[in-house]
Amino acid sequence: MSSKAAPVPAAAPAAQEETPFRRFVAQFAEDRIAVAGLLVFTLIVLAALLAPWITPQNPYSLAKLDLMDSRLPPGSKAGDGFTMMLGSDGFGRDIFSAIFYGLRISLAVGAISCLIAATVGMTVGLIAAYAGGRVENLIMRLVDLQLSLPAILLALILVSMFGKGVDKIIIALVLVQWAYYARTVRGSALVERGKDYVEAARCLGLSHARIVFRHILPNCLAPIIVVATVQTAHSISLEATLSFLGVGLAQTEPSLGVLISNGFQYMLSGKYWISFFPGLALLVTIVSINLVGDRLRDVLNPRLEK
């Protein structure tokens, strides 16, 4: 047999090559609502990033705050002359500006805690699936234990132990959330582990670390991405809850949760805007992330494929 006799139907024509990524984008775009969610979320992220340049007031700078401006209704003129579109809170902070700055903190806390929790959970879950036996049992019982406690309760206990501060909140959120990732990753890694390519990789004498992180992990990414989006939304709302309960972030650098909690005492006196607008911002943020997450789950789940 000459080597030229081999048929070459292998590659698709190079011009309009359908990469998995392109197919993924096309499928994602089929759902208009999810695209809208992604758009809104992108705007929110931009607003948070650009907050210092697009807000009329720096709510962190105590020198800029004037108690004379406190609790003004939406549309009032501040002492500095700018219009407080969404009113001001009890410290004279412009709600509009405070929301943008609050988003920065809320999103950063959500994203960072999510990233760390995903890394920890992924590693632990992969090890459990690959090692099997006692290691797996130990890890998965820990995960069960973790998941059997209500997240909010555990977070409350942890934060009250650690104290206030962004870093402490993040640690608490990571400790609450790693188990979700571990469980998801272990599930899909177990499936991947049984596949022939893993056996083949072992036959080639590749090291365990290489097989786990180079071969199994990339194949488990789809469910991780889905869990990560949902969990980001979850950790943002968890942080807001903790801050609302007064154990989260400090008053001087308010997150959305702190802003909502500040306004709560004025709710009954009709000064709704102090809590309402930050609450709305939180709601829109979480809904937009969840819309994206739902669509990702539909697109990335092979079982739902049409």
Partner 1 sequence: MSPVLEVTGLRTHFFTRGGVVKSVDGVSLSLNAGEVLGLVGESGSGKSVTGFSILGLVDPPGRIVEGSIRLAGRELVGLEEGELQSVRGRDLAMIFQDPMMTLNPVLKVGTQMIETVLAHEKVSEKSARARCIDALSMMGIPAPHERLDAYPHQFSGGMRQRVAIAIALLHNPQVVIADEPTTALDVTIQSQILAKVQELCRERGTALIWITHDLTVIAGLADRIAVMYAGRIVEEGGVDAVLDRPRHPYTQGLIGSVPSRGRKGEKLAQISGSAPSLANLPVGCAFAPRCDKAINRCRVEAPVLPNAAAGSRAACHLAVPTAGQAA
Residue 199 in the binding site for partner 1 (CB under 8 A) = yes
The residue (of 81 and 133) whose beta carbon lies closer to partner 1 is: 133
Among 13, 133, 270, 302, binds partner 1 (CB under 8 A): 133
Among 13, 16, 161, 196, binds partner 1 (CB under 8 A): 196
Q: For the chain, state the CA radius of gyration.
A: 24
Are the C-beta atoms of 181 and 187 separated by less than 8 Å?
Answer: no
| Size of interface with partner 1, in residues (CB under 8 A) | 31
Among 62, 63, 161, 204, binds partner 1 (CB under 8 A): 204
Piece of the chain touching partner 1 by CB under 8 A; list 34-42, 136-144, 190-198, 239-247: 190-198
User: CB 205 → partner 1: shortest distance, Å?
Assistant: 3
The residue (of 77 and 208) whose beta carbon lies closer to partner 1 is: 208
Residue 26 in the binding site for partner 1 (CB under 8 A) = no
Residue 302 in the binding site for partner 1 (CB under 8 A) = no
**Binding residues for partner 1 restricted to 264-283, rule: CB under 8 A:** none
The residue (of 6 and 161) whose beta carbon lies closer to partner 1 is: 6
Residue 219 in the binding site for partner 1 (CB under 8 A) = yes
DSSP tag of 72: P
The residue (of 6 and 15) whose beta carbon lies closer to partner 1 is: 6
The string of DSSP codes covering the chain is: --GGGS----SPPSTT---HHHHHHHHHHT-HHHHHHHHHHHHHHHHHHHHHHH-SS-TT-GGG--GGGTTPPTTEEPTTS-EETT-B-TTS-BHHHHHHHHHHHHHHHHHHHHHHHHHHHHHHHHHHHHH-HHHHHHHHHHHHHHHHS-HHHHHHHHHHHH-SSHHHHHHHHHHHHHHHHHHHHHHHHHHHHTSHHHHHHHHTT--HHHIIIIIIHHHTHHHHHHHHHHHHHHHHHHHHHHHHTTSSS-SSS--HHHHHHHHHTTGGGT-THHHHHHHHHHHHHHHHHHHHHHHHHHHH-GGG--
User: CB 222 → partner 1: shortest distance, Å?
Assistant: 10
User: CB 127 → partner 1: shortest distance, Å?
Assistant: 16
Residue 205 in the binding site for partner 1 (CB under 8 A) = yes
Residue 4 in the binding site for partner 1 (CB under 8 A) = yes
User: CB 200 → partner 1: shortest distance, Å?
Assistant: 4
Binding site for partner 1 (CB under 8 A): 1-12, 132-133, 195-197, 199-207, 210, 214-215, 218-219
